[in-house]
Amino acid sequence: MGASWGGLRAVETVLGALPAGFGAPVVIAQHRRHDTPDGVLVRMLGERCALPVCEAEDKQSLDPGVVLVAPADYHLLVEPGMVALSVDAPLNYSRPSIDILLGSAADAYGERVAGVVLTGANADGALGLAHIAGRGGTAIVQDPETAERREMPAAALFATPDARVLALEQIGPALAALAGTRAGSAT
């Protein structure tokens, strides 16, 4: 999942709709200043979410029902079974890059990945989401009309015209339906 301008509220809304037994890992790239103090975003998201939220560490495992957030000024890549951090150059002025996150998830999991592009004021995420769709995964875009900034979801729709377009409040429930819940867990 990726977000930029207006993303805090958008990501909180999506995460807040995920049940405690959510059956898949969640990995997030949220554009923010490189000097954002450690833990601030994680703490804010954790207050609104039934799932554990943590800042991703290099080679951390991907576990169902755990939310990993890209640290400020690091790219976050998905690899089979884990994530990796990178300080490669910013892509389109962004580190973390949503395109890098989504593209790596598509390469690692193909048709088993769902990518989400939320509000933002640039085109980051459009190419990564198109890569997910091209590998048979599920592409979801926040309805630009419900986004604080429509540029990012509009660019994602231009790159992936067959993406599911959902109002912000519908994205969490759609992800829950896609992922299911772990047996015996509360929903």
Domain containing 126 — which CATH number? 3.40.50.180
The pLDDT of residue 187 is above 70: no
> Is position 146 within any domain?
yes
Domain that residue 106 falls in: 2-177
Q: Which of 102-111, 149-158, 174-183 has the lowest mean pLDDT?
A: 174-183
pLDDT at residue 41 in the model: 85
> Is position 186 within any domain?
no
The pLDDT of residue 184 is above 70: no
> Is position 152 within any domain?
yes
In one letter, which amino acid is 125? G
> Is position 40 within any domain?
yes
116/102 Cα distance (integer angstroms):
9
pLDDT at residue 42 in the model: 86
Query: Residue 6 carries which DSSP code?
Result: T
pLDDT at residue 185 in the model: 37
Question: Distance between alpha carbon 9 and the CA centroid of its chain, in Å?
Answer: 13
Q: Given CA atoms 14, 19, 22, 25 in this order, what sign does their dihedral have? A: positive
Please report the DSSP string for 19-77 in residue order: -TTB-S-EEEEE---TTPPTTHHHHHHHTT-SS-EEE--TT-B--TT-EEEPPTT-EEE
Q: What angle do CA 5, 171, 93 make, to 5 degrees?
A: 25
The pLDDT of residue 183 is above 80: no
Q: What percent of the chain has pLDDT over 70?
A: 95
- Which carries the bigger pLDDT value, residue 186 or residue 103? 103
Catalytic residue numbers, as ranges: 4, 31, 124
pLDDT digits (tens, 9 = 90+) for 33-77: 777 766 778 888 888 899 999 999 999 999 999 999 999 999 999
Number of independent structural domains in the chain: 1
Q: What angle do CA 14, 94, 6 make, to 5 degrees?
A: 35
pLDDT digits (tens, 9 = 90+) for 116-158: 999 999 999 999 999 999 999 999 999 999 999 999 999 999 9
Q: Per-residue confidence at 182, pLDDT binned at 50, 70, 90?
A: very low
pTM for this prediction = 0.93
8 A C-beta contact, residue 62 and residue 20: no
The pLDDT of residue 98 is above 70: yes
From residue 156, how far is each of 13, 32, 77, 186 by CA, in Å? 20, 20, 19, 33
pLDDT at residue 186 in the model: 37
